[in-house]
Amino acid sequence: MKTYDIIVIGGGHAGIEAASAAARMGCSVALITMDKYAIGRMSCNPAIGGTAKGHLVREIDALGGVMGRLADKTGIQFRMLNRSKGPAVWSPRCQSDRELYSKAAVEEILSTENLEVVEDSVTDIIIEGKEVKGVKTKSGNDIAAKAVILSSGTFLNALMHVGLNAKSGGRYGEKPATGITESLMKAGFESGRLKTGTPPRLAKDSINWDVLEEQPGDDNPQPFSYQTDLNEFPYLPQVSCHITYTDAAVHKILEKGFDESPMFTGRIKGVGPRYCPSIEDKIVRFADKERHQLFLEPEGLDSDQIYLNGFSTSLPAEIQLEAMRKVKGLENVEMVRPGYAVEYDFFPPHQIDNTLETKLVSGLYFAGQINGTSGYEEAAAQGLMAGINAASKIQGRRDFVLKRSEAYIGVLIDDLVTKSTEEPYRMFTSRAEHRLLLRQDNADRRLMHYGEELGLIDKELSDQVKEREEIIKQSISVCQTKKLHAREVNGYLVSRGTPPIDSTETISKLCKRPELELKELLNVNGAENDPVLRQLINDSVALNQVEIELKYEGYMKRQQETIARLERYEDLKIPLTLNYSTLNALSIEAREKLNKIKPRSIGQAMRISGVSPSDISILLVYLKK
């Protein structure tokens, strides 16, 4: 029997990160996938990032993951979303070349040391007692391992629906994974059913582009990865996306297909995503809306297919085509492939710990859509954390768990474990209570030291971040003490439409005025005369960080005070072996929820629905004893 340290099941975004991280940390890894050339294949939209999702990609990259680098290599349009709002919600996004992204992912995996790709399908997880021992495959092989990471995406007992027609498959043209759900349920796990969907693919030459609203990328595109060479970026030609809208006529045609909708007729039992509903769901739930926005996004530089973002559907193919031909610009459109829904098994995430190891079976980890999440980025973040923790466990290192106050990844996993989910979970900036401190632009400052400690980030890159951190700290100190005289600055203030000052004011206080930019203030002052500010003005990244910290100083200080106040509860650890059923003073609901979730700390226990302040007080008294 062949033996590895770690087996990763599934070659999607979670599997890529898990296998890559564990192998680079020194473990022998087998990545089992049905088709090695399908590694990194984008099942839905060929895009990376977006609101809050872009934060996750930057954090993955800062920790040493691969998604950011793959996105930069294969991106054909880069945009920073939400620029009109504050920096807490600025989110990078790129449209990717679908074929090139998968090709880059395959190359990344095949070139990673300690990592072997096994083309097969897992049918059974081997569990002895309460420990994982390996897997059985469809070809009849038993493969042994000290840890198994299950990242099967939408493939577990998957069904694809178009109208009243359903066939087995986790993605167009690909077979489902069978046997795993039954194997885990036999071991005592609870499973559920979820649904996701994808829109039609359109023939590029059949679209009237002249009447559509163009959506170009940024003039000065920013990469996801801190390792990307700005002198060479972007690597590929950049293209535009386009926008159009549905209307009442489109909605009326779609309604004709409702009696053949697998969602409305009850054929689909799984719960669909609340925040990315199908077009038929939209026109029912938002009946007051006269139109819905649609984005026409290219699948690649050499592809003749267009992805119709916003038109996810499982209605009959003929209804899809008839409705689309009522959309402006799509009057003569040809449909290359209809939209379809995928229904698949998942395992409610109260069954995992914050390390993503299952509570029931030691050495077995769940990552990605198996935990009820939606999206490539959420999956990749979990895969990275599962890979790190599986390797850490084997190597005798401490668990690697990020706090909610440290990263969006911490928020994501804490939400899943503490609150669980009955519908596909999607990350939003609103889910992070400390989002002003968890910006996408400072992910390296927050997390790269962890990546270096884990051996996933080169010391040279980490040292650059540390050097920049020193420049930032010194510059903030100078700006908080250095004053500008009225005679120096009033001309500039008036030119920017902001009131002049009477005598003197610190650079820090003036920078808080929304009309003013720090770089211009420093030029007014003659920054070249101060060695610290001279360094700052020559480092655009550090300059941006200093400006944000000065402008939002009051808000950030309040968030830091809140974190410090709550930190003591996060530091109060609870033994994972504690049997809450013996604590009769707790409410019945609290005992049930606490036994189910097994929180690691009082802070996590406080976030569990149904656990009251009085229950927390009882726990605190018990722990002191």
Question: Is 40 within a domain?
Answer: no
Question: Is 585 within a domain?
Answer: yes
Question: Is 108 within a domain?
Answer: no
Of 505, 528, 555, the domain-final residue: 555
Q: Predicted confidence band at 527 (pLDDT cuts at 50, 70, 90)?
A: low
Q: Which residue did the predictor score with more confidence, 422 or 64?
A: 64
Give the pLDDT score at 525: 72
Residues 406 and 67: their CA atoms lie apart, in Å, by: 20
Check whether residue 529 and residue 593 sit in a common domain: no
Check whether residue 502 and residue 612 sit in a common domain: no
What 8-state DSSP symbol labels residue 352? B
On the question of pLDDT at 276 being above 80, the answer is: no
Check whether residue 615 and residue 492 sit in a common domain: no
Check whether residue 606 and residue 537 sit in a common domain: no
Q: Predicted confidence band at 277 (pLDDT cuts at 50, 70, 90)?
A: confident
Check whether residue 544 and residue 581 sit in a common domain: no
Q: Identity (one letter) of the amino acid at 261?
A: S
Mean pLDDT of 424-437: 95
Taking a C-beta distance cutoff of 8 angstroms, is the pair 210, 432 a contact?
no
Check whether residue 480 and residue 608 sit in a common domain: no
Check whether residue 498 and residue 619 sit in a common domain: no
Q: Of the ranges 5-14, 16-25, 421-430, 445-454, which one carries the lowest mean pLDDT score?
A: 421-430
Give the pLDDT score at 258: 87
Of 555, 584, 605, the domain-final residue: 555
On the question of pLDDT at 261 being above 90, the answer is: no
On the question of pLDDT at 268 being above 90, the answer is: no
pLDDT digits (tens, 9 = 90+) for 328-380: 999 999 999 999 989 999 999 999 999 999 999 999 999 999 999 999 999 99
On the question of pLDDT at 273 being above 80, the answer is: no
Check whether residue 216 and residue 288 sit in a common domain: yes
Taking a C-beta distance cutoff of 8 angstroms, is the pair 62, 440 a contact?
no
Mean pLDDT of 103-125: 97
Ramachandran category for residue 140: left, alpha or beta (phi over 0 → left; psi -120 to 50 → alpha): left
Q: Identity (one letter) of the amino acid at 498?
A: T
Question: Is 612 within a domain?
Answer: yes
Q: Identity (one letter) of the amino acid at 51?
A: T
Mean pLDDT of 520-530: 80
On the question of pLDDT at 426 being above 90, the answer is: yes
Question: Is 245 within a domain?
Answer: yes
| Phi and psi angles of residue 164, each rounded to the nearest 5 degrees, phi first | -90, 5
Calculate the alpha carbon distances from 324 to 207, 249, 258, 307, 311 in Å: 11, 10, 16, 13, 9
pTM over 0.85: yes
Check whether residue 486 and residue 545 sit in a common domain: yes
Of 325, 340, 355, the domain-final residue: 340
Give the pLDDT score at 211: 97
For a pLDDT cut of 90, what percent of the chain falls above it?
86
pLDDT digits (tens, 9 = 90+) for 546-594: 999 999 999 999 999 999 999 999 999 999 889 999 999 999 999 999 9
Residue 463 has a CB neighbour count (10 Å cut-off) of 12
Chain length of the chain = 625
Full domain range(s) for residue 222: 201-340
Mean pLDDT computed over every residue of the chain: 94
On the question of pLDDT at 260 being above 90, the answer is: no
What CATH code is carried by the domain that includes residue 214?
Answer: 2.40.30.260
What CATH code is carried by the domain that includes residue 495?
Answer: 1.10.10.1800
Taking a C-beta distance cutoff of 8 angstroms, is the pair 7, 134 a contact?
yes
Which residue's entry shows tokens 């605190």? 620
- Both tokens of residue 391? 């390797």
State the DSSP H helix or E strand holding residue 507, giving kind and residue range, or none if neither.
Answer: helix 507-511
Which residue's entry shows tokens 């290192």? 397
Give the pLDDT score at 529: 78
On the question of pLDDT at 28 being above 80, the answer is: yes
Q: Predicted confidence band at 179 (pLDDT cuts at 50, 70, 90)?
A: very high
| Phi and psi angles of residue 367, each rounded to the nearest 5 degrees, phi first | -145, 135
Question: Is 165 within a domain?
Answer: no
On the question of pLDDT at 57 being above 90, the answer is: yes
Instruction: Tally the domains of the chain.
Output: 3
- Both tokens of residue 240? 């535009």
Q: Which residue did the predictor score with more confidence, 166 or 226?
A: 226
Residues 388 and 504: their CA atoms lie apart, in Å, by: 52
Check whether residue 615 and residue 505 sit in a common domain: no
For a pLDDT cut of 70, what percent of the chain falls above it?
99
Count Cα atoms within 13 angstroms, Cβ side, for 447: 33
Taking a C-beta distance cutoff of 8 angstroms, is the pair 16, 40 a contact?
yes
* Burial class of residue 521 in the structure, from the number of CB atoms within 10 Å of its CB (0-12 exposed, 13-18 middle, 19+ buried): buried
What CATH code is carried by the domain that includes residue 596?
Answer: 1.10.150.570
On the question of pLDDT at 471 being above 70, the answer is: yes
Ramachandran category for residue 575: left, alpha or beta (phi over 0 → left; psi -120 to 50 → alpha): beta
Residues 55 and 489: their CA atoms lie apart, in Å, by: 37
Residues 205 and 207: their CA atoms lie apart, in Å, by: 6
On the question of pLDDT at 624 being above 90, the answer is: no
Beta bridge partners of 519: none
Which residue's entry shows tokens 């090709």? 103
Question: Is 130 within a domain?
Answer: no
- Both tokens of residue 318? 């003929």
Taking a C-beta distance cutoff of 8 angstroms, is the pair 158, 169 a contact?
yes
Check whether residue 209 and residue 334 sit in a common domain: yes
DSSP output for 186-229: HTT---EEEEEEE--EEEGGGS-GGGSEEE---SS---S-TTS-
Taking a C-beta distance cutoff of 8 angstroms, is the pair 78, 221 a contact?
yes
Check whether residue 300 and residue 239 sit in a common domain: yes
Spatial CA neighbour of 263 closest among 309, 308, 312: 312
Question: Is 243 within a domain?
Answer: yes
Residue 481 has a CB neighbour count (10 Å cut-off) of 10
pLDDT digits (tens, 9 = 90+) for 185-211: 999 999 999 998 899 999 999 999 999
